[in-house]
Copies of this chain bind each other. A is one copy, B any other.
Amino acid sequence: MTSTDHTGSGDLARSLELMWGLDRKPTRGPKPALTLDRIVGAGIAVADAEGLDALSMRRVAAEVGAGTMSLYRYVPGKAELLDLMVDKVNSPCESEFPPGLGWRGALERVARGIWQMYNRHPWLLNVDQARPVLGPNSLRALELTLAAIGDAALSDREKMTVLTIIDGGYVSGMARTHFNAKHAAQRTGVSDEQFWAAQAPILSAAMTSGDYPELAALSQDSFTADGEGEFEFGLGLLLDGLEAFVERRT
């Protein structure tokens, strides 16, 4: 599984207008039979149920019971549809942060929230979000997060850097590894056991060859990973490091 390119959101301005609902309604003409929301929702439903590669304009159109080309009355193209799907799914933590959580608790909460968002919508992991399109939901999430870590003794720029490192870097990377593997099983019909069994012969041949002494000496349980546990462990390490950094400077 690799990444389908949409060209980085062909018409960014149009995406933003649609996200923020800035298109002025026409007065003449027939009533639209569809809604932008319904289309975006259908796209999310398809991606959730069948993965990103099953998301096609024809498929979404069929889902809402319309002709394929009718979608283009609401959305400039597939890239923009994806932008809209991302922001819709990116709704901030339902409950606000409980007060008095402290910056470390808030960062943990945000990290786990993102982790669970990727669990609900694994297709998000394969959407290039390097250039974030700032929709209302994404912006709201950032706003709430900034408010919750206000007590950290960091500059504004450092706070943004920390968010990039933890959320954009660590959490996304770990989630990608973990959930892609998890969903690969059902998507391909090849279970984890089957997958590793297929590699076993080559692996054991490599072990006994003597070319890989370190690998050969590894204890048996080294390859059985507990994704969630590893995620929490690494998050702890990262926050420990950050805590030391903050204390060191005060």
Which A residues are within 8 Å of any B CB, using their own CB?
1-8, 12-13, 16, 20, 51-53, 82, 125-131, 133-134, 136, 139-140, 142-143, 146-147, 150, 155-157, 159-161, 164-166, 168-174, 176-181, 184, 187-188, 190, 195, 198-199, 202-203, 206, 211-215, 218-219, 221-225, 230-231, 233-234, 236-242, 244-245
| Cβ-defined partner of A4 (8 Å) among B4, B7, B20, B179 | B4
User: A233 to chain B: which residues have CB within 8 Å?
Assistant: 161, 165
Interface contacts beyond A1-B4, A136-B206, A164-B177: sample of 17 additional A-B pairs, CB < 8 Å, sorted by A: A1-B3, A7-B187, A8-B188, A16-B202, A130-B176, A131-B181, A140-B212, A146-B218, A156-B222, A157-B224, A165-B174, A168-B177, A172-B173, A172-B177, A173-B174, A237-B238, A238-B241
Q: Give this chain's copy count.
A: 2
Q: Decide: B128 and A180 in contact? CB cutoff 8 A.
A: yes
Q: Are B236 and A139 in contact (CB under 8 A)?
A: no
